[in-house]
Structure 1
Amino acid sequence: MTTTSPTIEILCSPLPLCGKVAVPGSKSITNRALLVAALTTGTSSLSGALVSDDTRYMMKALTQLGVRINFSSDTNIELDGTGSLKQPSDSLYLGNAGTAIRFLTAACALVEGKVVLNGDEHMQKRPIHPLIDSLNTAGIHVTVPSSGCPPCTVYGQGFIPGGTINISGTLSSQFISSLMLVAPLSKRATTIKLAEDNIGALGYIEITRAVMEAFGAHIYQDDENSFHIARTGYTPCHFRVEPDASAATYFWAAEKLTGGKIDLGYTPNDFSQPDAAAHRLMQSFPSLPTLIDGAQIQDAIPTLAVLAAFGSSTVRFTGIANLRVKECDRIAAVHKGLNCIKPGLATIEGDDLIVVGDPALPKHAHPCTIDTMSDHRIAMSFALAGLKCRGIKISEPDCVGKTFPGYWTELSKLGVLFSYT
């Protein structure tokens, strides 16, 4: 690919990679906790929070909505909530932060007046219509263009009606989480019914539940597809954000690729996030399972796919259709990147990705520039290929700032050298 944007080339690395790195706080947990803390009446504090592009967008939007936010250190945040949100003087710009725009679209029903939520050109291609349909059915007036993608316009009445709300989580479990997060502030108890028996990323709904309960919400289920949420409001508290399991997967994979030992300061069992399950799969490298269901570990799939390219198995990744509507079409991006390194390394069948492992890949690899499509996870996962193969360049390396601003620094602590062009 011909490009004029900056690139970073992984020049060389000591083998094995050994040392200690700092994994940032979880983006998924941080953005949930920021919103819930903002909806309390009183002062809450978050420790270990992630400060990155995505969370900055969330914090800026909350500030526009009348929430006071202060930093007591780089990762410690205090929020003063009033249990309500004020109409902003301008639209809320959320870049390509999917959690922020989805969670805030429901939350802006608490505003008295019109609120427009928008993002960059990538966000404007990410479907949000299932959430919009559910909000309208629940009595919250929200509109989007005919594309079904942002910008979203919320005509808030200052309250959440509550009652029974049906929602589809096929495209994203974040639509379900969005409704759950605001339900404790509704005018009456809320029941959220899932349209499907099985959805991807169910573990992230459990993360939503855990954050809500930490701030005093009451949630119970009488079956797997219904969440009953009491009208409790939220109580201020001190909340600790755990490190990001998705970020940890890059270093777990780097250990396997280089035969190293990297200390993250946490064990896989210390994580509640679903992507931590990728660690168990990686332990069988180079003979990875021939079938990997990625439904519950979606953010770890690019990492596992790059690892699989160096293995001895042909691996089929299933349950990953939702990767097509992430920051980019990650199925297409991983397929393209692997085949740039070596033609025929990956194929796509429907929504399945098949990676043909080649233990001799470092000898067969072509020098190439990986098109990250501005996606942080594509950049970070394909950097791993550069640990083994010469001539791997990563386009738009700064896109890692979305969730892991210090990624290149942490790799350099392990002795990895880079060249910027």
Structure 2
Amino acid sequence: MTKKLTILPPAHPLVGKVSPPGSKSITNRVLLLAALSQGTSRLTGALKSDDTRYMAEALRAMGVVVEEPDATTFVVTGTGKLWPPEAPLFLGNAGTATRFLTAAVASINGTVVVDGDEHMRKRPIGPLVAALKSLGIDAEAPSGCPPVTIHGKGHFGSGRVEIDAGLSSQYVSALLMAAPLAKTGLDIALTGTEIGARGYVDLTLDAMRAFGARVEQLDPATWRVEPTGYTAADFHIEPDASAATYLWGAEVLTGGTIDIGTPAKAFTQPDAKAYDVIAAFPDMPEVIDGSQMQDAIPTIAVLAAFNNRPVRFVGIANLRVKECDRIRALSTGLNNIREGLAEEQGDDLIVHADPALACQSLSAEIDTFADHRIAMSFALAGLKIADITILDPDCVGKTYPAYWDALGSLGVNFTQG
């Protein structure tokens, strides 16, 4: 494994064509929905990465046939139900797989343990466990984080459940996707209207309907799901909008032209909202609300270092409970490049922009905290500043295994250590 990677700033605009991988968010949703369906589903354009491999392996462990005929396709054959696995489900640091499966396995007649690596064991899941328990499901997570133990009764809970989604929209998506497995209908309600990245719930609803679910939105904070189960379907997965942000960022930083094959307005994922902000570089706004494009904030924060004016990022408290504390990781990395470049004020991040950073040589090692998004975003700084070194660069395998190759195809060179 590569321990360090130093980017050599290109002396030319980056020009070329790069196809981002399939959406992680959509791939892990439709993998689960296909597994819960009766029949065979063909999922094309899929992401093959650490996160989706964990999901696929977990589904196989529960009796689902998951075939991979090529690099971007899953063929999933299910019976409409999952079976108890022989061992705990290990999901690495895959938040989507962990949250989604914690709810789905409650439909199993038996005991399932959902677990992850040392990083996942620090990521909160208490609100989801509390919601499951309120439905009469025997679930426990003593630390408030994985591992979670679920003693299922062969079907999901019915009636009404309330969920605090302030920390993550994935809790809502998890309940929504499991709800069609109930014996009778289920109402899912927020304990307030606050929800992190509501657009991802819309993504979930669209995917559910593609596999035959019937969902009605009763009001902005309540959904009613009918007990339809799921029916197999073929589904094409769009490219990953979060991955696209790095390429959009590389384009504006170097004055280049990078064709990613999909217009920004064609994306349905929330992070595509970042395109308009990135396109405004080097005159991005002084205040950026990241609440509805959370995974794009690391990209934009690194770009902000070269902006014409300082930028305050608000609405990003949820970044503290991602793969790492991303607010701290961003401020640490930026201040390693130059002390005072960033500061935290509560859960806001302020980047004190300085366009003069470009073309300087500022030796800095960036601790990625094993977080793929920190590695990929800080690589952008290395396009303009000499001697930027990314530690643990292989962590990009979580969602974009070919990231370094993609930059290389555009003419970016590296030294490895």
TM-score (norm. length: structure 1) = 0.98
CA distance in 2, matches of 1:44, 1:11: 44
Contact 1:191 1:227 in 2 (8 A): yes
Which residue matches 2:394? 398
Deviation string, structure 1 residues 40-73 (Cα, Å, up to 9, x no partner): 0111110000000000000000000110011121
Alignment of 1:314-329 (within 5 A): 314-329=310-325
Deviation string, structure 1 residues 250-285 (Cα, Å, up to 9, x no partner): 010111100000000011011000100101011211
Deviation string, structure 1 residues 196-232 (Cα, Å, up to 9, x no partner): 2122200000000010011111111121000011111
CA distance in 2, matches of 1:221, 1:208: 13
Cα distance, 1:364 vs structure 2 = 5.2
Decide which moves more: 91-100 or 279-288.
279-288
Contact 2:7 2:387 in 1 (8 A): yes
Secondary structure of 1:367 counterpart? strand
Deviation string, structure 1 residues 99-131 (Cα, Å, up to 9, x no partner): 001000111112111111111100010010000
Q: Does 1:337 align with 2:329?
A: no
Runs (4+) off by over 3 Å? none
Question: Which structure 2 residue ranges, 5 or more long, are not aligned?
Answer: none
Q: Does 1:375 align with 2:367?
A: no
CA distance in 1, matches of 2:170, 2:12: 39
Q: Does 1:8 align with 2:5?
A: yes
Equivalent position amino acid for 1:182 in 2: A
Deviation string, structure 1 residues 281-317 (Cα, Å, up to 9, x no partner): 1121111100100000000000000001001111100
Contact 2:8 2:382 in 1 (8 A): yes
Cα distance, 1:184 vs structure 2 = 0.9
Q: Does 1:126 align with 2:148?
A: no
Which residue matches 1:112? 109
Contact 1:69 1:80 in 2 (8 A): yes
Contact 1:117 1:153 in 2 (8 A): yes
Equivalent position amino acid for 1:366 in 2: L
Q: Does 1:78 align with 2:75?
A: yes
Which residue matches 1:89? 86
Secondary structure of 1:191 counterpart? strand
Secondary structure of 1:299 counterpart? helix
Contact 1:166 1:194 in 2 (8 A): yes
Alignment of 1:192-271 (within 5 A): 192-271=188-267
Decide which moves more: 369-378 or 9-18.
9-18
Deviation string, structure 1 residues 170-202 (Cα, Å, up to 9, x no partner): 110000000000111111101000112122200
Decide which moves more: 208-217 or 69-78.
69-78
Question: Which structure 1 residue ranges, 5 or more long, are not aligned?
Answer: none
Secondary structure of 2:358 counterpart? helix
CA distance in 2, matches of 1:326, 1:15: 35
CA distance in 2, matches of 1:32, 1:367: 41
Number of residues of Structure 1 aligned to a counterpart in Structure 2: 417
Decide which moves more: 239-248 or 65-74.
65-74
Which residue matches 1:297? 293
CA distance in 1, matches of 2:72, 2:250: 26
State the percentage of identical aligned residues: 55
CA distance in 1, matches of 2:52, 2:275: 26
Cα distance, 1:76 vs structure 2 = 1.1
TM-score (norm. length: structure 2) = 0.99
